């Protein structure tokens, strides 16, 4: 085939390459100029338009779209092009350009095939859906999705209409509302794509569709019925209920708009397409969407922290097989690293391995080989033999300076000369540990959050003695295990715990003042927190909260509420032993629904302002490099309401004077803990 292939170098093509084969099939290769990944940018759309214009004049046998990038198919629209859109009209014009392209592909008189290998998101998926056929490789890297909802919008290039046409409203809405990408196998199952084959067959499969142009099977009757006007209101209300559990309309309007769109216009294709563009245009300009776009770029910014050097340790050794150490070890094994995990006895390691097995099953489901391989990569090591082989040793034992120092002194002589020693301490300063080492520069903090598998952030703690190369390598390691690495200066509580702690302590204090825990938590979730501070404290464990709080209270002069002490002494430790501030039944907090408060606003102010004030203090002290990294750390480390764009962004977007005035009122009433930090000037 390739020997007969002719390349037509059309004029002014920067991003696309057009080749014809002997069947007169036009293969359109996308290879976006100066970009690692393909994006559906304005320029890419324009060029594809010009190609289509050419095809309309000289119709080929068929058109096949494919990517020349190793990184995947198309990652979606170029989000940076959203930022300058200020008015709804501008947004609408922008969207219409995409709509026009999709329609043009759809009505092209020859068969069109999208050939997908690797990631295919957002606009990439919408482009594919506008083609007659989608064939995809069954490679693990192939993921297809419409993740727009995560950016506070929904698909806006006709994706809502076409995805529902392909796989019915239930599967399509589920995909759009969660923003979750699916494997090509799952995509085939729900009817999103037409064929899922091994990579070696992908071209032949695309060719077969292009040449034979088989009729597409319509979705099943039951699936189609779900879109019937009669059932839509009921289904829509179900969807709203489901979304309501995760997101509130005042915080995240996009999912609700998407449901409305479907409910009201699903009966009329043309109108739904029109309304889709209007709906997205109105969303793009919302504060929430702008902030979520910001958060998206913060994520990229964190990943970039890990790209300054490339570092992939051949072997990772974790000391401490408890919940944190064990979870770090199994996470690294899941990510493909060879890992040994050390604990004092086989008894303890047996528990570690059991827990790891559960993580592997959760991650890989019924993929027996993947579970086996991860199990094989995770080596229980009660003697600590892995220390000699390791390129990075992660210490995750209990928080005791003397014990840690003793451990470091005993293991350092066995470590490779350039191996990194990382501690998962959440509260001990690196300076207090490093001076026992021959090479203090090798010690770095690698602060993971619980549960390791779910929390995206890792704080990379730089002590004054830490080598720059060690920091750079640790950041790269953090990125390579699929986490977001955040470089943080060594100081009490680092960034995340320090900002979180005043907020939790204030919550605990309020409960001791007699305000029901349910009210305190509601004030926080009303603000947009994923979980209230009291329930969070219970989940983390009150003993752990107390120990972190103790360290911070001495270092930063925070007062420790009495009830934290009395409860831990009474062995009320939270979720893990069934009772803390709440009682737990089947792992769920039992909450009293009949509690009321006339001043929930003040509760919320007390919580949020202490958090904001501490974030400001961290900015002033330069705990991380800039205010964006504070926002990133707090969002990815605590789940802090992402639609706000982070605590400092929240201050910037709200009336600073008002916030400061509220602080002053609270200071009058509750004392010095509400004293305005000097750093507010800097925000």
Partner 1 sequence: MSNKLMHKQQKVYIVDGSRTPLLKARGQVGPFTAGDLAVNAARPLLLRHDFPLDAFDEVIMGCMMPGEREANVARVVALRLGIPQTVPAWTVQRNCASGMQSIDSAWRNIKYGDANLILAGGAESMSHAPVLFNHTMVNWLGAFMKARSTGQRLKVLSRLRLAHFKPVIALLYGLSDDTVGLNMGETAENIANCFNISRQEMDALSVSSHQRLAHAQDNGLLEEIEPMYDKHGHFYDHDDGLRRDTSMETLAKLRPAFDRKYGLVTAGNSAQITDGAAWVILASEQAVEQYKLPVMASIEDTQWAGLDPAVMGMGPAHAMAPIMQRHQFAIDDIDYWEINEAFATQVLGCLKAWEDEDYCKNHLGLNQTLGRISSERLNIDGGGVSMGHPVGASGTRIVLHLAKILQRTNARRGMASLCIGGGQGGAVLIQNAA
Note the residues at the interface with partner 1 (CB under 8 A): 338, 340, 346-347, 349-351, 353-354, 357, 372-373, 375-377, 379-383, 385-386, 388-389, 416
- Establish whether 426 is a catalytic residue: yes
Least distance to partner 1, CB of residue 27, Å:
33
Half-sphere exposure (Cβ direction) of 634: Cα atoms closer than 13 Å = 32
- H or E segment at 9? none
Least distance to partner 1, CB of residue 439, Å:
18
The tokens 């071209």 sit on which residue? 203
CA distance 55 to 53: 5
Q: What string of DSSP letters covers 401-438?
A: HHHHHHHHHHHGGGS-TT-EEEE--SSS-THHHHTTSS
Q: Tell me whether residue 387 or residue 623 sits nearer to partner 1 (CB atom).
A: 387
Q: Tell me whether residue 368 or residue 585 sits nearer to partner 1 (CB atom).
A: 368
Q: What string of DSSP letters covers 305-364?
A: HTTSS----SEEEEE--SHHHHHHHHHHHHTT-EEEEE-S-HHHHHHHHHHHHHHHHHHH
Beta carbons of 344 and 367 less than 8 angstroms apart: no
Least distance to partner 1, CB of residue 419, Å:
11
Q: Which of 497, 613, 627, 649 is labelled catalytic?
A: 497
Q: Tell me whether residue 342 or residue 613 sits nearer to partner 1 (CB atom).
A: 342
The CA R_g of the chain, rounded to the nearest whole Å, is: 27
Q: Which of 165, 276, 412, 459 is labelled catalytic?
A: 459
- Helices 542-556 + 562-569 axis angle, to 10: 140
Q: Which of 340, 447, 506, 613 is labelled catalytic?
A: 447
Residue 101's beta-bridge partner residues? Answer: none
Least distance to partner 1, CB of residue 365, Å:
15
3-class SS string, 439-502? CHHHEEEEEECCCCCCCCEEEEEECCCCCHHHHHHHHHHHHHCCCEEEEEECCCCCCHHHHHHH
- Going by the DSSP 8-state scheme, the letter that residue 214 receives in this structure is P
Least distance to partner 1, CB of residue 317, Å:
9
Beta carbons of 236 and 243 less than 8 angstroms apart: no
Q: Tell me whether residue 165 or residue 395 sits nearer to partner 1 (CB atom).
A: 395
Least distance to partner 1, CB of residue 477, Å:
19
Strands of 443-448's sheet, edge to edge? 378-380, 338-342, 315-319, 392-395, 420-423, 443-448, 457-462, 484-489
- Establish whether 459 is a catalytic residue: yes
Least distance to partner 1, CB of residue 351, Å:
6
Least distance to partner 1, CB of residue 327, Å:
16
Nearest residue to 489 via CA among 639, 302, 619: 619
Q: Tell me whether residue 379 or residue 460 sits nearer to partner 1 (CB atom).
A: 379
Tally of CB atoms within 10 A around 585: 9
CA distance 495 to 497: 6
Least distance to partner 1, CB of residue 140, Å:
18
Tally of CB atoms within 10 A around 572: 18
Beta carbons of 263 and 272 less than 8 angstroms apart: no
Q: Is 220 helix (H, G, I), strand (E, B) or coil?
A: coil
The tokens 């324009």 sit on which residue? 46
Least distance to partner 1, CB of residue 321, Å:
11
CA distance 316 to 330: 11
Q: Which of 119, 227, 330, 426 is labelled catalytic?
A: 426
Nearest residue to 502 via CA among 425, 608, 429: 608
Q: Tell me whether residue 196 or residue 341 sits nearer to partner 1 (CB atom).
A: 341
By the 10 Å C-beta count (0-12 exposed, 13-18 middle, 19+ buried), 569 is classed as exposed
Q: Tell me whether residue 389 or residue 498 sits nearer to partner 1 (CB atom).
A: 389
- Show which residues are catalytic: 426, 447, 459, 497
């Amino acid at each position: 085939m390739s020997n007969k292939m002719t390349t037509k170098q059309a004029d002014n093509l920067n991003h696309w390459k057009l080749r014809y084969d002997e069947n007169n099939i036009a293969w359109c290769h996308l290879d976006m100029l100066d970009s690692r990944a393909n994006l559906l940018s304005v320029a890419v759309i324009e060029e594809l338009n010009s190609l289509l214009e050419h095809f309309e004049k000289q119709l080929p046998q068929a058109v096949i779209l494919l990517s020349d990038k190793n990184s995947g198919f198309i990652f979606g629209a170029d989000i940076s092009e959203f930022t300058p859109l200020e008015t709804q009209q501008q947004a609408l014009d922008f969207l219409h350009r995409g709509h026009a392209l999709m329609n043009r592909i759809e009505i092209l008189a020859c068969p069109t095939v999208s050939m997908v290998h690797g990631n295919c998101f957002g606009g990439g998926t919408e482009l594919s859906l506008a083609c007659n056929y989608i064939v995809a490789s069954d490679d693990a890297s192939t993921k297809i999705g419409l993740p727009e909802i995560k950016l506070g919008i929904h698909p806006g290039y006709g994706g809502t209409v076409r995805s529902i046409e392909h796989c019915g409203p239930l599967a399509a809405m589920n995909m759009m509302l969660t923003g979750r990408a699916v494997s090509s196998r799952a995509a085939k199952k729900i009817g999103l794509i037409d064929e899922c084959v091994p990579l070696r067959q992908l071209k032949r499969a695309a060719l077969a569709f292009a040449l034979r142009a088989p009729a597409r099977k319509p979705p099943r009757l039951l699936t189609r019925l779900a879109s019937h006007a009669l059932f839509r209101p009921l289904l829509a209300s179900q969807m709203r209920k489901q979304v309501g559990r995760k997101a509130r309309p005042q915080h995240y309007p996009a999912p609700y708009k998407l449901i409305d769109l479907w409910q009201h216009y699903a009966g009329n294709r043309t109108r739904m397409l029109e309304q889709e563009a209007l709906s997205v245009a109105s969303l793009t300009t919302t504060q929430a969407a702008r902030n979520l776009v910001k958060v998206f770029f913060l994520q990229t910014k964190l990943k970039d922290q890990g790209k300054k050097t490339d570092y992939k340790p051949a072997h990772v050794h974790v000391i401490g097989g408890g919940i944190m150490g064990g979870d770090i070890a199994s996470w690294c094994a899941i990510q493909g690293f060879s890992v040994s995990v050390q604990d004092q006895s086989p008894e303890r390691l047996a528990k570690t391995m059991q827990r790891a097995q559960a993580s592997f099953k959760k991650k890989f489901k019924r993929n027996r080989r993947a579970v086996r391989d991860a199990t094989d990569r995770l080596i229980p090591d009660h003697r600590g033999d892995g220390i000699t082989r390791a390129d990075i040793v992660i210490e995750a034992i209990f928080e005791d300076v003397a014990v840690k120092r003793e451990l470091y002194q005993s293991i350092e002589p066995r470590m490779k000369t350039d191996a990194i020693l990382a501690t998962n301490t959440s509260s001990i300063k690196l300076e207090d540990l490093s001076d026992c080492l021959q090479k203090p520069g090798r010690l770095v903090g690698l602060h993971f959050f619980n549960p390791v598998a779910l929390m995206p952030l890792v704080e990379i703690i730089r002590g004054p003695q830490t080598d720059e190369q060690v920091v750079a390598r640790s950041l790269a390691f953090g990125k390579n295990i699929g986490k977001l690495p955040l470089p943080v200066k060594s100081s009490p509580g680092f960034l995340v715990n320090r900002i979180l702690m005043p907020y939790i302590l204030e919550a605990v204090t309020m409960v001791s003042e007699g305000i029901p825990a349910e009210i305190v938590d509601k004030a926080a979730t009303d603000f947009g927190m994923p979980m209230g501070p009291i329930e969070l404290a219970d989940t983390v464990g009150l003993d752990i909260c107390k120990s972190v709080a103790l360290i911070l209270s001495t270092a930063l002069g925070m007062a420790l509420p009495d009830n934290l002490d009395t409860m831990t002494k009474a062995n009320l430790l939270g979720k893990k032993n069934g009772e803390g501030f709440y009682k737990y039944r089947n792992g769920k907090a039992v909450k009293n629904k009949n509690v009321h408060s006339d001043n929930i606003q003040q509760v919320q102010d007390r919580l949020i302002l202490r958090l904001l004030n501490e974030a400001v203090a961290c900015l002033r002290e330069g705990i991380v490099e800039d205010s964006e990294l504070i926002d990133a750390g707090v969002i990815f480390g605590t789940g802090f309401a992402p639609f706000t764009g982070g605590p400092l962004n929240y201050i910037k977007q709200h009336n600073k004077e008002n916030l400061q005035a509220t602080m002053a009122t609270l200071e009058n009433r509750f004392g010095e803990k509400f004293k305005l930090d000097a750093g507010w000037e800097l925000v």
